[in-house]
Amino acid sequence: MSDKPNNTNQGSDSLNEIPSVDWLDLERNRDKFFKDLRYALEECGFLILINAPGFEDEFQQRAFTEVRKFFDSPMDFKQASSIANSPYVRGYSSPRPPDSGRAQVIESFQYGFDEAPLCAHDDESQPIHERFFRGPNTWPDSERLPGFKPTLNELNSAYHRLTLQLGELIVESLGEDPAEFRQYFNLDEPYLFASLNHNFSMDAILADKRDLIRDEYAKFSSAVTGAHIDGPPFVALLINDRPGLQVVAGEGQWMNAPVTCRTAEGDYNVPVVPGSVVVNTGGSLMHLSEGRYSATVHRVNTTMIPDGDTRISMPYFLLPTMQGDLIPFGKSGASTNDDVGYNAGRNRGANAAANLMRTYPKLTGRWWEKEFAALRAAQQQEEVAETEAAFKLAAERGDRFQEKLSGS
């Protein structure tokens, strides 16, 4: 299946697929571009960006080839670039055991821009986000994988250029000055988090637990399936080569996201849209737009990955500068906004760091145990507030659809 999603549902009484936005419309029909962008972010929180610059099919094919070479390498080779080797949340993370009680078996590799550390990781005179996010990558042996590092550097630059361009367009779509975007994001001092994720299919889970996992995925909400919103980022961008990503939107049901690059034969059971990028709203945009563009709950559904196969995804998260409050676009001062789960005065840098410390326990146990113990409670409270706000806004979207259907 290789058909593109269409926008025939935009402005209709239902939303049963993730809306698409065509980048080429910026030149050929700018009004349509902004109409589609507003619709996608207001009514879904996710969109499929078609003809995304820098993400042509040839490049995506090359990127997935290099990334699969890394994940197909022997475990001792991957472990040599372990995320635990340095404090800067960069490097390889091995899978949790298949009996961990989680619905996903996943390994990953984290990276960003190579940067010299601003200070020692334990220099408490500096904010924790400066010690945690700024540092060098932990690369695997380049002699064995000569194409891996240059391809990821190319991917990182393409993601960053597109995110900065798209960010200004998102602010413009809100009717605000795009220059306001640059108060929080800039080219020279990027705060970001990028990952390569390698999800295994159901046959990687212990046989006596598979029925339980299938039952959990059949539920709308489950503690073990990994459903979440992306709290700290402004937006997240993603390319993927197998089915699995699902999104809560429309009438409150799970919708399947398309694949952006076909790297195997067979029926994918979801659309394949070559040269596209999946985009979703993060918590920071939810705050800055005062809920007009809300974050959307999503998950990876292991049952959708073909048995014996694996899924690669490459998400990219742009984070705002981490000092001070998030002042909504078009406003002159910060305010507490319970509707989007944001309280003025929060330590956003600490929140973003703790969010990742929780995700990578080997890194945290070696380098950040004391800091995580101090930050965890506040981060949990903020995560709960943001997630509850996102569910509330999603319910309001669903109510709007039901009202249209009933003719009220």
In three-state secondary structure terms, 7 is coil
DSSP of 181-248:
GGGT--SSS-EEEEEEEEEE-GGGS-GGGHHHHHHHHHSSS-TTS--B---S-SEEEEEESSS-EEEE
Spatial distance between the Cα atoms of 273 and 255, rounded to a whole number of angstroms:
16
Q: How far apart are the C-alpha atoms of 245 and 239, rounded to whole Å?
A: 11
CATH T-level topology, domain 20-406: Jelly Rolls (2.60.120)
**What Rg do the C-alpha atoms of the chain give, in angstroms?**
20
Residues 295, 341: Cα–Cα separation, whole Å = 11
Nearest Cα to 89, choosing from 316, 365, 363? 363
Q: Which residues in 67-106 are b (16+ Cβ under 10 Å) and which e?
A: bbebbebeeeebebbbbbbbbbbbbbbebeebeeebbbbb
The residue-averaged pLDDT of 95-106 equals 86
CA distance 286 to 340: 7
* DSSP three-state, residue 256: strand
- The 10 Å Cβ neighbour count of residue 175 is 11
Contact indicator for 354, 199 with CB cutoff of 8 Å: no
Among the listed residues 209, 285, 347, 402, the one whose alpha carbon sits nearest the alpha carbon of residue 47: 285
DSSP 269: S
Least confident of 62-71, 188-197, 200-209: 188-197
Written in H, E and C, the secondary structure of 33-67 is HHHHHHHHHHHCCEEEEECCCCCCHHHHHHHHHHH
Q: Is the pLDDT of residue 408 over 60?
A: no
Q: For residue range 235-294, list pLDDT tens digits in order.
A: 999 999 999 999 987 667 899 999 999 999 888 899 999 999 999 999 889 889 988 998
| pLDDT tops 70 at residue 15 | no
pLDDT digits (tens, 9 = 90+) for 197-237: 999 999 999 999 999 999 999 998 888 999 888 888 999 99
Which residues are within 8 A (CB) of 301 and not within 5 positions of it... i.e. 6 or more apart?
Answer: 217, 225, 244, 245, 246, 254
Pairing of strands 46-50, 20-22: parallel
Q: Report the pLDDT averaged over residues 82-86.
A: 96
* Strand arrangement, sheet containing 191-200: 20-22, 46-50, 277-281, 235-240, 310-319, 191-200, 106-111, 91-93
- Helix/strand/coil for 340: helix
Q: Please state the pTM of the whole predicted model.
A: 0.91
Say yes or no to pLDDT of 11 above 70.
no
pLDDT of 61 above 90: yes
Q: What is the pLDDT of residue 9?
A: 46
**Which of helix, strand or coil describes residue 364?**
helix
Sheet holding 298-300, edge to edge: 253-256, 245-249, 298-300
CA–CA distance, 166 with 316 (Å, rounded to integer): 13
Tokens describing residue 381: 């409270």
Q: Which long-range contacts (CB under 8 A, 24 or more apart) does 344-349 make?
A: 346/378, 346/382, 347/378, 348/129, 348/232, 348/320, 348/322, 349/127, 349/128, 349/129, 349/130, 349/322, 349/323
